[in-house]
Chains A and B, each alone.
Chain A
Amino acid sequence: MTAAVSASSRRPRKNVVLSIVAILLSVVVFLVPFAFILLTAVKSRQEASRLDFTWPTQFQFVQNFVDVVQARDYMLIIAFINSTILTVASVSIMVVLAAMVAFVLQRRRTRWTGFINFLVLSGLIIPPAVVPTIWVLQKLGLFRTMPGLILVEVAFGLSFCILLFRAFIATVPRELDEAAIIDGAGPLRLFFRVILPLLKSVIITCVVVQSVTVFNDFVNPLYFLPGDQNATVQLTLYNFSSSYSTQYNLLFMDILLITIPPLIMFLFFNKRIVAGMTAGAIKG
Protein backbone atom coordinates (compact mmCIF):
# COMPACT_ATOMS: atom_id res chain seq x y z
CA MET A 1 0.00 0.00 0.00
CA THR A 2 2.81 2.38 0.81
CA ALA A 3 4.99 1.50 -2.11
CA ALA A 4 4.68 4.72 -4.01
CA VAL A 5 4.00 6.98 -1.06
CA SER A 6 7.51 8.33 -0.80
CA ALA A 7 7.65 8.98 -4.49
CA SER A 8 4.61 11.17 -4.65
CA SER A 9 4.23 12.66 -1.19
CA ARG A 10 6.44 15.58 -2.16
CA ARG A 11 3.82 17.01 -4.46
CA PRO A 12 0.55 16.90 -2.58
CA ARG A 13 -0.99 19.72 -4.64
CA LYS A 14 -0.78 17.84 -7.90
CA ASN A 15 -2.48 14.88 -6.31
CA VAL A 16 -5.62 16.82 -5.56
CA VAL A 17 -6.05 17.65 -9.22
CA LEU A 18 -5.23 14.11 -10.19
CA SER A 19 -7.68 12.76 -7.61
CA ILE A 20 -10.49 14.91 -8.88
CA VAL A 21 -9.83 13.88 -12.47
CA ALA A 22 -9.65 10.22 -11.47
CA ILE A 23 -12.85 10.35 -9.47
CA LEU A 24 -14.74 12.18 -12.23
CA LEU A 25 -13.53 9.68 -14.81
CA SER A 26 -14.48 6.77 -12.58
CA VAL A 27 -17.98 8.18 -12.24
CA VAL A 28 -18.40 8.53 -16.00
CA VAL A 29 -16.81 5.22 -16.93
CA PHE A 30 -17.87 2.92 -14.12
CA LEU A 31 -20.77 4.43 -12.20
CA VAL A 32 -22.91 5.73 -15.06
CA PRO A 33 -23.56 2.23 -16.52
CA PHE A 34 -24.67 1.00 -13.10
CA ALA A 35 -26.81 4.09 -12.55
CA PHE A 36 -28.34 3.47 -15.96
CA ILE A 37 -29.27 -0.08 -14.93
CA LEU A 38 -30.77 1.20 -11.69
CA LEU A 39 -32.78 4.02 -13.28
CA THR A 40 -34.09 1.97 -16.19
CA ALA A 41 -35.13 -0.80 -13.83
CA VAL A 42 -37.59 1.48 -12.03
CA LYS A 43 -39.04 3.21 -15.08
CA SER A 44 -42.32 2.49 -16.79
CA ARG A 45 -42.20 0.43 -19.94
CA GLN A 46 -42.62 3.35 -22.32
CA GLU A 47 -40.14 5.55 -20.59
CA ALA A 48 -37.58 2.74 -20.42
CA SER A 49 -37.92 2.03 -24.12
CA ARG A 50 -36.48 5.47 -24.89
CA LEU A 51 -33.18 4.26 -23.41
CA ASP A 52 -32.46 7.73 -22.01
CA PHE A 53 -30.24 8.39 -19.06
CA THR A 54 -32.84 10.45 -17.24
CA TRP A 55 -34.49 10.57 -13.85
CA PRO A 56 -37.70 8.47 -13.94
CA THR A 57 -40.90 10.55 -13.99
CA GLN A 58 -42.59 7.87 -11.95
CA PHE A 59 -41.03 5.10 -9.90
CA GLN A 60 -42.33 1.62 -10.65
CA PHE A 61 -39.96 -0.38 -8.51
CA VAL A 62 -42.55 -2.69 -6.92
CA GLN A 63 -44.54 -3.09 -10.11
CA ASN A 64 -41.47 -4.03 -12.19
CA PHE A 65 -40.17 -6.29 -9.46
CA VAL A 66 -43.44 -8.23 -9.34
CA ASP A 67 -43.60 -8.40 -13.14
CA VAL A 68 -40.10 -9.80 -13.43
CA VAL A 69 -40.71 -12.38 -10.73
CA GLN A 70 -44.00 -13.48 -12.26
CA ALA A 71 -42.77 -13.58 -15.84
CA ARG A 72 -43.03 -16.96 -17.53
CA ASP A 73 -44.58 -18.78 -14.60
CA TYR A 74 -42.22 -17.54 -11.91
CA MET A 75 -39.23 -18.62 -13.91
CA LEU A 76 -36.93 -16.28 -11.99
CA ILE A 77 -37.79 -17.93 -8.67
CA ILE A 78 -37.10 -21.37 -10.12
CA ALA A 79 -33.90 -20.04 -11.63
CA PHE A 80 -32.74 -18.59 -8.32
CA ILE A 81 -33.41 -21.92 -6.62
CA ASN A 82 -31.55 -23.77 -9.38
CA SER A 83 -28.61 -21.37 -9.23
CA THR A 84 -28.43 -21.65 -5.46
CA ILE A 85 -28.42 -25.46 -5.55
CA LEU A 86 -25.82 -25.44 -8.31
CA THR A 87 -23.56 -22.94 -6.57
CA VAL A 88 -23.73 -24.44 -3.08
CA ALA A 89 -23.33 -28.05 -4.19
CA SER A 90 -20.59 -27.56 -6.75
CA VAL A 91 -18.54 -25.19 -4.62
CA SER A 92 -18.66 -27.42 -1.52
CA ILE A 93 -17.65 -30.52 -3.45
CA MET A 94 -14.98 -28.62 -5.34
CA VAL A 95 -13.43 -27.19 -2.18
CA VAL A 96 -13.19 -30.50 -0.29
CA LEU A 97 -11.83 -32.46 -3.26
CA ALA A 98 -9.36 -29.74 -4.18
CA ALA A 99 -8.10 -29.42 -0.60
CA MET A 100 -7.48 -33.18 -0.43
CA VAL A 101 -5.52 -33.13 -3.68
CA ALA A 102 -3.56 -30.02 -2.75
CA PHE A 103 -2.64 -31.49 0.64
CA VAL A 104 -1.11 -34.70 -0.72
CA LEU A 105 0.33 -32.90 -3.74
CA GLN A 106 2.15 -30.38 -1.57
CA ARG A 107 3.26 -32.82 1.13
CA ARG A 108 4.49 -35.81 -0.78
CA ARG A 109 6.83 -35.75 -3.75
CA THR A 110 6.72 -38.80 -6.00
CA ARG A 111 7.54 -39.24 -9.64
CA TRP A 112 3.90 -38.45 -10.33
CA THR A 113 4.02 -34.99 -8.78
CA GLY A 114 5.23 -33.28 -11.94
CA PHE A 115 2.60 -34.97 -14.04
CA ILE A 116 -0.19 -34.07 -11.62
CA ASN A 117 0.96 -30.45 -11.56
CA PHE A 118 0.85 -30.47 -15.33
CA LEU A 119 -2.72 -31.79 -15.29
CA VAL A 120 -3.75 -29.10 -12.81
CA LEU A 121 -2.32 -26.35 -15.00
CA SER A 122 -3.91 -27.89 -18.09
CA GLY A 123 -7.27 -27.58 -16.38
CA LEU A 124 -6.77 -23.83 -16.20
CA ILE A 125 -5.54 -23.40 -19.75
CA ILE A 126 -7.31 -25.89 -22.02
CA PRO A 127 -10.79 -24.92 -23.20
CA PRO A 128 -13.24 -27.74 -22.38
CA ALA A 129 -14.45 -29.80 -25.34
CA VAL A 130 -18.17 -29.13 -25.38
CA VAL A 131 -19.94 -31.80 -27.39
CA PRO A 132 -17.76 -34.69 -26.16
CA THR A 133 -18.63 -33.61 -22.62
CA ILE A 134 -22.29 -33.82 -23.52
CA TRP A 135 -21.60 -37.27 -24.97
CA VAL A 136 -19.96 -38.43 -21.72
CA LEU A 137 -22.83 -37.00 -19.66
CA GLN A 138 -25.31 -38.73 -21.93
CA LYS A 139 -23.55 -42.06 -21.47
CA LEU A 140 -23.69 -41.58 -17.71
CA GLY A 141 -27.34 -40.56 -17.83
CA LEU A 142 -26.42 -37.15 -16.41
CA PHE A 143 -27.11 -34.90 -19.40
CA ARG A 144 -29.85 -32.32 -18.69
CA THR A 145 -29.65 -33.10 -14.98
CA MET A 146 -28.57 -30.89 -12.12
CA PRO A 147 -26.08 -33.46 -10.73
CA GLY A 148 -24.46 -33.58 -14.16
CA LEU A 149 -24.01 -29.81 -14.29
CA ILE A 150 -22.75 -29.77 -10.69
CA LEU A 151 -20.05 -32.31 -11.54
CA VAL A 152 -19.08 -30.36 -14.65
CA GLU A 153 -18.63 -27.20 -12.60
CA VAL A 154 -16.56 -29.20 -10.10
CA ALA A 155 -14.33 -30.61 -12.84
CA PHE A 156 -13.73 -27.18 -14.39
CA GLY A 157 -13.19 -25.39 -11.08
CA LEU A 158 -10.85 -27.87 -9.39
CA SER A 159 -7.61 -26.52 -10.87
CA PHE A 160 -8.01 -23.00 -9.56
CA CYS A 161 -8.84 -24.27 -6.05
CA ILE A 162 -5.95 -26.74 -6.02
CA LEU A 163 -3.44 -24.03 -6.89
CA LEU A 164 -4.85 -21.74 -4.23
CA PHE A 165 -4.81 -24.45 -1.55
CA ARG A 166 -1.39 -25.81 -2.47
CA ALA A 167 0.21 -22.41 -2.04
CA PHE A 168 -1.41 -22.02 1.37
CA ILE A 169 -0.66 -25.54 2.62
CA ALA A 170 3.01 -24.89 1.88
CA THR A 171 2.92 -22.37 4.75
CA VAL A 172 1.47 -24.89 7.24
CA PRO A 173 4.42 -26.44 9.14
CA ARG A 174 4.95 -30.16 8.68
CA GLU A 175 5.64 -30.51 12.41
CA LEU A 176 1.88 -30.32 12.93
CA ASP A 177 1.39 -33.38 10.74
CA GLU A 178 4.11 -35.25 12.56
CA ALA A 179 2.68 -34.43 15.98
CA ALA A 180 -0.75 -35.65 14.88
CA ILE A 181 0.71 -38.85 13.46
CA ILE A 182 2.60 -39.56 16.66
CA ASP A 183 -0.69 -39.11 18.49
CA GLY A 184 -2.05 -41.90 16.31
CA ALA A 185 -4.04 -39.98 13.72
CA GLY A 186 -4.65 -41.75 10.41
CA PRO A 187 -4.64 -39.95 7.07
CA LEU A 188 -8.34 -39.08 7.24
CA ARG A 189 -8.16 -37.77 10.76
CA LEU A 190 -4.97 -35.85 10.05
CA PHE A 191 -6.56 -34.14 7.09
CA PHE A 192 -10.07 -33.44 8.35
CA ARG A 193 -9.27 -32.73 12.00
CA VAL A 194 -5.85 -31.09 11.85
CA ILE A 195 -5.22 -29.59 8.43
CA LEU A 196 -8.65 -28.58 7.15
CA PRO A 197 -9.45 -26.34 10.15
CA LEU A 198 -6.19 -24.48 9.57
CA LEU A 199 -7.19 -23.69 6.01
CA LYS A 200 -10.18 -21.62 7.09
CA SER A 201 -9.09 -18.33 5.57
CA VAL A 202 -8.11 -19.78 2.22
CA ILE A 203 -11.30 -21.86 2.16
CA ILE A 204 -13.36 -18.70 2.57
CA THR A 205 -11.43 -17.07 -0.25
CA CYS A 206 -11.91 -20.07 -2.51
CA VAL A 207 -15.61 -20.38 -1.69
CA VAL A 208 -16.29 -16.72 -2.35
CA VAL A 209 -14.41 -16.54 -5.64
CA GLN A 210 -15.83 -19.79 -6.97
CA SER A 211 -19.37 -18.97 -5.84
CA VAL A 212 -19.32 -15.78 -7.83
CA THR A 213 -17.85 -17.64 -10.81
CA VAL A 214 -20.40 -20.45 -10.75
CA PHE A 215 -23.31 -18.12 -10.05
CA ASN A 216 -22.33 -15.96 -13.02
CA ASP A 217 -21.63 -18.91 -15.27
CA PHE A 218 -23.61 -18.78 -18.47
CA VAL A 219 -21.88 -21.16 -20.87
CA ASN A 220 -22.03 -24.42 -18.92
CA PRO A 221 -25.75 -24.24 -18.02
CA LEU A 222 -26.44 -23.26 -21.62
CA TYR A 223 -24.78 -26.42 -22.94
CA PHE A 224 -25.32 -28.97 -20.22
CA LEU A 225 -28.65 -28.07 -18.64
CA PRO A 226 -30.92 -26.70 -21.36
CA GLY A 227 -34.65 -26.23 -20.91
CA ASP A 228 -36.81 -23.57 -19.24
CA GLN A 229 -37.52 -25.69 -16.20
CA ASN A 230 -33.80 -25.98 -15.51
CA ALA A 231 -32.86 -22.37 -16.18
CA THR A 232 -30.23 -20.74 -14.01
CA VAL A 233 -30.36 -17.02 -13.34
CA GLN A 234 -27.97 -16.10 -16.16
CA LEU A 235 -30.24 -17.85 -18.64
CA THR A 236 -33.32 -15.93 -17.50
CA LEU A 237 -31.48 -12.83 -18.55
CA TYR A 238 -30.86 -14.32 -21.92
CA ASN A 239 -34.53 -15.31 -22.26
CA PHE A 240 -35.61 -11.84 -21.27
CA SER A 241 -33.54 -10.16 -23.90
CA SER A 242 -35.02 -12.32 -26.62
CA SER A 243 -38.68 -12.60 -25.69
CA TYR A 244 -39.14 -9.24 -23.98
CA SER A 245 -36.90 -7.27 -26.24
CA THR A 246 -39.02 -4.17 -25.86
CA GLN A 247 -39.52 -4.43 -22.11
CA TYR A 248 -36.27 -2.84 -21.13
CA ASN A 249 -37.48 -1.95 -17.67
CA LEU A 250 -38.00 -5.64 -16.85
CA LEU A 251 -34.74 -6.66 -18.45
CA PHE A 252 -32.84 -4.18 -16.31
CA MET A 253 -34.78 -5.14 -13.20
CA ASP A 254 -33.64 -8.69 -13.87
CA ILE A 255 -30.02 -7.58 -14.32
CA LEU A 256 -30.34 -5.65 -11.05
CA LEU A 257 -31.71 -8.63 -9.11
CA ILE A 258 -29.03 -10.93 -10.48
CA THR A 259 -26.28 -8.50 -9.53
CA ILE A 260 -27.36 -8.47 -5.88
CA PRO A 261 -25.74 -11.78 -4.78
CA PRO A 262 -22.28 -10.87 -6.14
CA LEU A 263 -22.71 -7.39 -4.67
CA ILE A 264 -23.36 -8.88 -1.23
CA MET A 265 -20.30 -11.09 -1.60
CA PHE A 266 -18.29 -8.05 -2.60
CA LEU A 267 -19.45 -5.95 0.36
CA PHE A 268 -18.71 -8.64 2.93
CA PHE A 269 -15.69 -10.38 1.46
CA ASN A 270 -13.92 -7.72 -0.59
CA LYS A 271 -10.57 -8.42 1.09
CA ARG A 272 -10.85 -12.19 0.65
CA ILE A 273 -11.80 -11.91 -3.01
CA VAL A 274 -8.86 -9.64 -3.66
CA ALA A 275 -6.53 -12.01 -1.78
CA GLY A 276 -7.77 -15.04 -3.68
CA MET A 277 -7.68 -13.53 -7.12
CA THR A 278 -4.21 -12.09 -6.79
CA ALA A 279 -2.65 -15.03 -4.91
CA GLY A 280 -4.16 -17.64 -7.18
CA ALA A 281 -3.23 -15.64 -10.22
CA ILE A 282 0.39 -15.01 -9.32
CA LYS A 283 1.07 -18.58 -8.28
CA GLY A 284 -0.56 -19.91 -11.42
Chain B
Amino acid sequence: MEARPRTSVAGPASKARKKSPYSSWFYLPAAIVYAVLFLVPTVTSFYFSLTRWSIFDSQFIGFDNYVTFFREPALVSGLWHTVVYAVITSGLKVVLGLGLAVLLTSQIIGRGYLRSVVFFPVLVSTIGVGLTFTILMDPEDGLINESLSLLGITGPGWLTDPSYALVSVALVDVWKGVGLATLIYIAGIVSIPQEYFEAARVDGATAWQNFRSIVLPLARPATFTVILLSLIGGLRSFDLIWAMTRGGPGFTSDVIASVIYKQYQAGFYGLSTAGNVVLFLLVTAIIFPLSRYLNSKEVDL
Protein backbone atom coordinates (compact mmCIF):
# COMPACT_ATOMS: atom_id res chain seq x y z
CA MET B 1 0.00 0.00 0.00
CA GLU B 2 1.15 3.48 -0.85
CA ALA B 3 1.64 5.94 1.98
CA ARG B 4 -0.62 8.94 1.82
CA PRO B 5 1.02 11.84 0.04
CA ARG B 6 1.88 14.54 2.53
CA THR B 7 2.77 17.41 0.31
CA SER B 8 0.17 19.57 -1.28
CA VAL B 9 0.60 19.27 -5.02
CA ALA B 10 -1.93 21.94 -5.79
CA GLY B 11 0.47 24.74 -4.93
CA PRO B 12 0.41 27.47 -2.35
CA ALA B 13 -2.12 29.59 -4.22
CA SER B 14 -4.93 27.08 -3.83
CA LYS B 15 -7.17 27.08 -0.83
CA ALA B 16 -6.72 25.08 2.31
CA ARG B 17 -6.54 21.72 0.61
CA LYS B 18 -3.60 19.73 1.81
CA LYS B 19 -3.53 15.95 1.76
CA SER B 20 -5.58 15.28 -1.33
CA PRO B 21 -7.13 11.83 -1.47
CA TYR B 22 -6.97 12.15 -5.24
CA SER B 23 -3.32 11.36 -5.77
CA SER B 24 -1.56 12.60 -8.84
CA TRP B 25 0.16 9.28 -9.35
CA PHE B 26 -3.17 7.90 -10.55
CA TYR B 27 -2.28 9.66 -13.77
CA LEU B 28 1.06 7.95 -13.99
CA PRO B 29 0.41 4.56 -15.64
CA ALA B 30 -1.89 6.01 -18.29
CA ALA B 31 0.43 8.98 -18.79
CA ILE B 32 3.43 6.73 -19.43
CA VAL B 33 1.64 4.59 -22.03
CA TYR B 34 0.07 7.61 -23.67
CA ALA B 35 3.26 9.66 -23.69
CA VAL B 36 5.52 6.89 -24.95
CA LEU B 37 3.26 5.47 -27.63
CA PHE B 38 1.28 8.51 -28.69
CA LEU B 39 2.91 11.81 -27.75
CA VAL B 40 6.51 10.86 -28.47
CA PRO B 41 5.72 9.50 -31.97
CA THR B 42 3.56 12.53 -32.72
CA VAL B 43 6.26 15.00 -31.70
CA THR B 44 9.17 13.12 -33.27
CA SER B 45 7.24 12.74 -36.52
CA PHE B 46 7.99 16.39 -37.21
CA TYR B 47 11.71 15.68 -37.07
CA PHE B 48 11.62 12.35 -38.93
CA SER B 49 9.58 13.88 -41.72
CA LEU B 50 12.67 15.98 -42.46
CA THR B 51 14.98 12.98 -42.84
CA ARG B 52 15.79 10.14 -45.13
CA TRP B 53 15.06 7.38 -42.75
CA SER B 54 15.51 3.62 -42.50
CA ILE B 55 14.33 3.09 -38.91
CA PHE B 56 17.90 2.43 -37.81
CA ASP B 57 19.53 5.63 -38.97
CA SER B 58 18.16 8.88 -40.22
CA GLN B 59 19.79 11.54 -42.27
CA PHE B 60 18.57 15.13 -42.15
CA ILE B 61 17.54 16.33 -45.59
CA GLY B 62 15.45 19.40 -44.80
CA PHE B 63 12.13 19.77 -46.59
CA ASP B 64 12.93 17.36 -49.43
CA ASN B 65 10.21 14.93 -48.42
CA TYR B 66 7.61 17.69 -48.50
CA VAL B 67 8.89 18.88 -51.85
CA THR B 68 8.55 15.33 -53.16
CA PHE B 69 5.12 15.05 -51.62
CA PHE B 70 3.80 18.23 -53.19
CA ARG B 71 5.53 17.73 -56.54
CA GLU B 72 4.19 14.23 -57.13
CA PRO B 73 0.68 14.62 -58.61
CA ALA B 74 -0.33 11.19 -57.28
CA LEU B 75 0.46 12.30 -53.73
CA VAL B 76 -1.07 15.77 -53.94
CA SER B 77 -4.28 14.34 -55.34
CA GLY B 78 -4.38 12.18 -52.20
CA LEU B 79 -4.65 15.35 -50.15
CA TRP B 80 -7.57 16.57 -52.23
CA HIS B 81 -9.28 13.15 -52.15
CA THR B 82 -9.02 13.08 -48.37
CA VAL B 83 -10.94 16.33 -48.10
CA VAL B 84 -13.54 15.27 -50.68
CA TYR B 85 -14.02 11.93 -48.95
CA ALA B 86 -14.41 13.52 -45.51
CA VAL B 87 -16.86 16.16 -46.76
CA ILE B 88 -19.02 13.66 -48.69
CA THR B 89 -19.24 11.16 -45.83
CA SER B 90 -19.77 13.85 -43.21
CA GLY B 91 -22.43 15.66 -45.23
CA LEU B 92 -24.39 12.53 -46.08
CA LYS B 93 -24.21 11.26 -42.51
CA VAL B 94 -25.69 14.55 -41.26
CA VAL B 95 -28.53 14.57 -43.78
CA LEU B 96 -29.37 10.87 -43.72
CA GLY B 97 -28.75 10.55 -39.98
CA LEU B 98 -31.13 13.39 -39.20
CA GLY B 99 -33.76 12.03 -41.57
CA LEU B 100 -33.54 8.54 -40.15
CA ALA B 101 -33.59 9.84 -36.59
CA VAL B 102 -36.78 11.84 -37.23
CA LEU B 103 -38.30 8.75 -38.82
CA LEU B 104 -37.22 6.47 -36.00
CA THR B 105 -38.52 8.73 -33.25
CA SER B 106 -41.94 9.02 -34.91
CA GLN B 107 -44.80 6.60 -34.48
CA ILE B 108 -43.83 3.92 -36.90
CA ILE B 109 -44.28 0.18 -37.04
CA GLY B 110 -41.17 -1.89 -36.40
CA ARG B 111 -39.24 0.94 -34.80
CA GLY B 112 -37.04 -1.36 -32.73
CA TYR B 113 -36.24 -3.50 -35.75
CA LEU B 114 -35.41 -0.46 -37.87
CA ARG B 115 -33.15 1.06 -35.24
CA SER B 116 -31.26 -2.21 -34.88
CA VAL B 117 -30.86 -2.81 -38.57
CA VAL B 118 -29.61 0.72 -39.23
CA PHE B 119 -27.15 0.54 -36.36
CA PHE B 120 -25.77 -2.97 -36.77
CA PRO B 121 -23.32 -2.23 -39.63
CA VAL B 122 -21.45 0.11 -37.26
CA LEU B 123 -20.30 -2.97 -35.36
CA VAL B 124 -19.33 -5.10 -38.33
CA SER B 125 -15.71 -5.40 -39.46
CA THR B 126 -14.83 -2.61 -41.90
CA ILE B 127 -12.75 -4.98 -44.02
CA GLY B 128 -15.64 -7.44 -44.17
CA VAL B 129 -18.01 -4.70 -45.31
CA GLY B 130 -15.46 -3.43 -47.82
CA LEU B 131 -14.88 -6.82 -49.42
CA THR B 132 -18.61 -7.57 -49.53
CA PHE B 133 -19.42 -4.31 -51.28
CA THR B 134 -16.51 -4.71 -53.65
CA ILE B 135 -18.27 -7.81 -54.90
CA LEU B 136 -21.75 -6.27 -54.83
CA MET B 137 -20.38 -3.35 -56.87
CA ASP B 138 -18.76 -5.55 -59.51
CA PRO B 139 -19.54 -3.87 -62.85
CA GLU B 140 -20.62 -7.08 -64.64
CA ASP B 141 -21.79 -9.65 -62.12
CA GLY B 142 -22.36 -7.45 -59.09
CA LEU B 143 -25.78 -7.51 -57.48
CA ILE B 144 -26.16 -3.74 -57.64
CA ASN B 145 -25.66 -3.46 -61.39
CA GLU B 146 -27.66 -6.62 -62.08
CA SER B 147 -30.58 -5.14 -60.16
CA LEU B 148 -30.22 -1.83 -61.95
CA SER B 149 -30.24 -3.55 -65.33
CA LEU B 150 -33.56 -5.14 -64.41
CA LEU B 151 -34.86 -1.60 -64.13
CA GLY B 152 -33.29 -0.81 -67.49
CA ILE B 153 -30.43 1.23 -66.08
CA THR B 154 -26.84 0.51 -66.96
CA GLY B 155 -24.95 0.94 -63.73
CA PRO B 156 -21.49 2.50 -63.79
CA GLY B 157 -18.29 0.62 -62.95
CA TRP B 158 -18.55 1.74 -59.37
CA LEU B 159 -15.03 0.89 -58.35
CA THR B 160 -13.40 0.50 -61.75
CA ASP B 161 -14.36 3.86 -63.22
CA PRO B 162 -11.83 6.48 -62.06
CA SER B 163 -14.48 9.16 -61.72
CA TYR B 164 -16.71 7.04 -59.46
CA ALA B 165 -14.29 5.01 -57.31
CA LEU B 166 -13.76 7.52 -54.49
CA VAL B 167 -17.44 8.40 -54.29
CA SER B 168 -18.45 4.72 -54.28
CA VAL B 169 -16.17 4.01 -51.33
CA ALA B 170 -17.55 7.07 -49.57
CA LEU B 171 -21.09 5.76 -50.09
CA VAL B 172 -20.17 2.45 -48.50
CA ASP B 173 -18.63 4.38 -45.62
CA VAL B 174 -21.97 6.17 -45.20
CA TRP B 175 -23.83 2.84 -45.33
CA LYS B 176 -21.66 1.53 -42.53
CA GLY B 177 -21.53 4.68 -40.41
CA VAL B 178 -24.93 6.29 -40.74
CA GLY B 179 -26.21 4.20 -37.82
CA LEU B 180 -23.97 6.03 -35.39
CA ALA B 181 -25.07 9.42 -36.72
CA THR B 182 -28.69 8.32 -36.42
CA LEU B 183 -28.11 7.20 -32.86
CA ILE B 184 -26.59 10.55 -31.87
CA TYR B 185 -29.49 12.41 -33.50
CA ILE B 186 -32.04 10.18 -31.76
CA ALA B 187 -30.41 11.02 -28.42
CA GLY B 188 -30.54 14.70 -29.36
CA ILE B 189 -34.19 14.66 -30.47
CA VAL B 190 -35.32 12.68 -27.44
CA SER B 191 -33.76 15.27 -25.13
CA ILE B 192 -35.87 18.10 -26.61
CA PRO B 193 -38.41 19.07 -23.94
CA GLN B 194 -41.94 17.95 -24.73
CA GLU B 195 -43.37 21.44 -24.11
CA TYR B 196 -42.07 22.69 -27.43
CA PHE B 197 -44.09 20.12 -29.33
CA GLU B 198 -47.17 20.77 -27.20
CA ALA B 199 -46.93 24.50 -27.81
CA ALA B 200 -46.54 23.85 -31.51
CA ARG B 201 -49.62 21.62 -31.54
CA VAL B 202 -51.67 24.31 -29.83
CA ASP B 203 -50.56 26.67 -32.57
CA GLY B 204 -51.57 24.09 -35.18
CA ALA B 205 -48.09 23.57 -36.60
CA THR B 206 -47.61 21.13 -39.43
CA ALA B 207 -45.10 18.28 -39.27
CA TRP B 208 -42.76 20.26 -41.52
CA GLN B 209 -43.00 23.35 -39.29
CA ASN B 210 -42.28 21.15 -36.28
CA PHE B 211 -39.18 19.92 -37.99
CA ARG B 212 -38.02 23.31 -39.26
CA SER B 213 -38.63 25.31 -36.09
CA ILE B 214 -38.14 22.80 -33.29
CA VAL B 215 -36.17 19.70 -34.25
CA LEU B 216 -33.66 21.31 -36.56
CA PRO B 217 -32.50 24.15 -34.26
CA LEU B 218 -32.69 22.19 -31.02
CA ALA B 219 -30.86 19.16 -32.39
CA ARG B 220 -27.97 21.42 -33.30
CA PRO B 221 -25.57 20.01 -30.65
CA ALA B 222 -26.16 16.58 -32.17
CA THR B 223 -25.42 17.98 -35.61
CA PHE B 224 -22.12 19.40 -34.37
CA THR B 225 -21.16 16.09 -32.82
CA VAL B 226 -22.00 14.19 -36.00
CA ILE B 227 -20.06 16.65 -38.17
CA LEU B 228 -16.98 16.56 -35.95
CA LEU B 229 -16.96 12.79 -35.44
CA SER B 230 -17.49 11.95 -39.08
CA LEU B 231 -14.92 14.51 -40.25
CA ILE B 232 -12.33 13.11 -37.83
CA GLY B 233 -13.12 9.59 -39.01
CA GLY B 234 -13.31 10.54 -42.68
CA LEU B 235 -10.02 12.42 -42.77
CA ARG B 236 -8.06 9.48 -41.41
CA SER B 237 -10.05 6.77 -43.18
CA PHE B 238 -7.88 3.96 -44.46
CA ASP B 239 -9.21 0.45 -43.98
CA LEU B 240 -12.35 0.74 -46.11
CA ILE B 241 -10.46 2.33 -49.00
CA TRP B 242 -7.72 -0.27 -48.71
CA ALA B 243 -10.20 -3.13 -48.70
CA MET B 244 -12.15 -1.84 -51.69
CA THR B 245 -9.80 -0.14 -54.16
CA ARG B 246 -6.31 0.10 -52.62
CA GLY B 247 -6.33 3.66 -53.87
CA GLY B 248 -7.07 2.65 -57.44
CA PRO B 249 -7.85 2.66 -60.26
CA GLY B 250 -4.54 4.44 -60.72
CA PHE B 251 -4.39 6.85 -57.83
CA THR B 252 -7.95 8.07 -58.18
CA SER B 253 -9.11 6.96 -54.75
CA ASP B 254 -5.85 7.38 -52.85
CA VAL B 255 -6.17 9.35 -49.63
CA ILE B 256 -3.39 10.52 -47.33
CA ALA B 257 -3.74 7.51 -45.05
CA SER B 258 -3.30 5.10 -47.95
CA VAL B 259 -0.35 7.13 -49.26
CA ILE B 260 1.25 6.80 -45.82
CA TYR B 261 0.84 3.04 -45.98
CA LYS B 262 2.11 2.71 -49.53
CA GLN B 263 5.21 4.79 -48.82
CA TYR B 264 5.81 2.80 -45.66
CA GLN B 265 5.57 -0.47 -47.57
CA ALA B 266 7.95 0.86 -50.20
CA GLY B 267 10.46 1.65 -47.47
CA PHE B 268 10.27 5.46 -47.76
CA TYR B 269 9.84 6.00 -44.04
CA GLY B 270 10.72 9.69 -44.13
CA LEU B 271 8.23 10.35 -46.91
CA SER B 272 5.60 8.26 -45.17
CA THR B 273 6.08 10.29 -41.99
CA ALA B 274 5.87 13.52 -43.99
CA GLY B 275 2.48 12.24 -45.16
CA ASN B 276 1.58 11.72 -41.53
CA VAL B 277 2.54 15.28 -40.65
CA VAL B 278 0.49 16.58 -43.58
CA LEU B 279 -2.48 14.59 -42.28
CA PHE B 280 -1.87 15.92 -38.78
CA LEU B 281 -1.83 19.50 -40.05
CA LEU B 282 -4.90 18.95 -42.20
CA VAL B 283 -6.88 17.44 -39.32
CA THR B 284 -5.89 20.11 -36.80
CA ALA B 285 -6.43 22.91 -39.34
CA ILE B 286 -9.99 21.68 -39.94
CA ILE B 287 -11.10 20.22 -36.62
CA PHE B 288 -9.81 22.67 -33.99
CA PRO B 289 -11.19 25.89 -35.56
CA LEU B 290 -14.39 24.09 -36.51
CA SER B 291 -15.00 22.74 -33.03
CA ARG B 292 -14.33 26.18 -31.55
CA TYR B 293 -16.74 27.77 -34.01
CA LEU B 294 -19.42 25.15 -33.42
CA ASN B 295 -19.07 25.34 -29.65
CA SER B 296 -19.54 29.10 -29.77
CA LYS B 297 -22.89 28.57 -31.49
CA GLU B 298 -24.14 26.10 -28.88
CA VAL B 299 -27.81 26.69 -27.97
CA ASP B 300 -29.50 26.34 -24.62
CA LEU B 301 -32.60 24.21 -24.37
Contacts and interface: CB of A to CB of B under 8 A. Distances in A.
A1 B221 CA distance: 18
Interface string A154-172: 1110100010000000000
- Report whether over half of chain A's contact residues are helix, strand or loop; otherwise say mixed: helix
A77 interface: no
Interface string A122-147: 01111111111111111010000000
B279 A132 contact: no
Contacts of B108: 15, 18-19, 22
Contact of A123 (B34, B210, B257): B34
A193 interface: no
Interface stretch (B18-26, B71-79, B151-159, B160-168): B18-26
A186 B221 CA distance: 40
Contacts of B133: 33
A72 interface: no
Size bin of chain A's contact surface: 35 or more
A51 B138 contact: yes
B61 interface: no
Contacts of B122: 277
A114 B143 CA distance: 52
B251 to A, nearest CB: 20
Contacts of B127: 218, 234, 237-238
Contacts, number: 292
Interface string B1-15: 110110001110010
Size bin of chain B's contact surface: 35 or more
Contacts of A130: 260-261, 264, 272-273, 276
B273 A219 contact: no
Contact of A155 (B33, B119, B236): B33
Contacts of A100: 26-27, 29-30
6 contacts: A53-B143, A104-B24, A127-B283, A129-B42, A277-B183, A284-B229
Interface of A: 1-9, 12, 15-16, 18-20, 22-23, 26, 29-33, 36-37, 50-53, 97-98, 100-101, 103-105, 107-108, 110-111, 116, 119, 123-138, 140, 151-152, 154-156, 158, 162, 177, 181, 185-191, 212, 216, 218-219, 222-223, 233-234, 237-238, 241, 248, 251-252, 255, 258-259, 262-263, 265-266, 270, 273-274, 277-278, 281-282, 284
